[in-house]
């Protein structure tokens, strides 16, 4: 395997696994006995996540790179 391929695989695995773990942690926020949130909060969270996922996906096919911003409720 080429050095570029090995680096891609190593970093992709690390970053995707970290993203999966962090998304799981977001799911833990659904515990109503520990947290107070509105339906609007939930919509904002998933809209922001979907936007970043869509932008990341498009960077693999589009010439232009999209930059994200910090998420805020």
In this structure, the answer to whether residues 73 and 58 fall within a common structural domain is yes
Q: What pLDDT, on the 0 to 100 scale, is given for residue 1?
A: 75
pLDDT in tens, the chain (73 residues): 799 999 999 999 999 999 999 999 999 999 999 999 999 999 999 999 999 999 999 999 875 555 667 878 7
In this structure, the answer to whether residues 41 and 73 fall within a common structural domain is yes
Range of the domain at 60: 37-73
Q: What pLDDT, on the 0 to 100 scale, is given for residue 62?
A: 76
Q: Give φ, ψ of 3 to 5 degrees.
A: -60, -40
Contact in structure between 55 and 66 (CB atoms under 8 Å): yes
In this structure, the answer to whether residues 29 and 42 fall within a common structural domain is no
Alpha carbon 64 to its chain centroid, in Å, reads: 19
Domain tally, the chain: 2
């Amino acid at each position: 395997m080429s050095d570029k391929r090995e680096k891609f695989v190593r970093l992709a695995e690390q970053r995707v696994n970290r993203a999966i773990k962090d998304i799981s942690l977001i799911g833990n926020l659904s515990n109503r006995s520990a947290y107070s949130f509105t339906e609007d909060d939930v919509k904002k969270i998933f809209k922001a996540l979907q936007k970043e996922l869509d932008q990341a996906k498009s960077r693999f096919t589009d010439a232009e790179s999209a930059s994200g911003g910090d998420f805020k409720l």
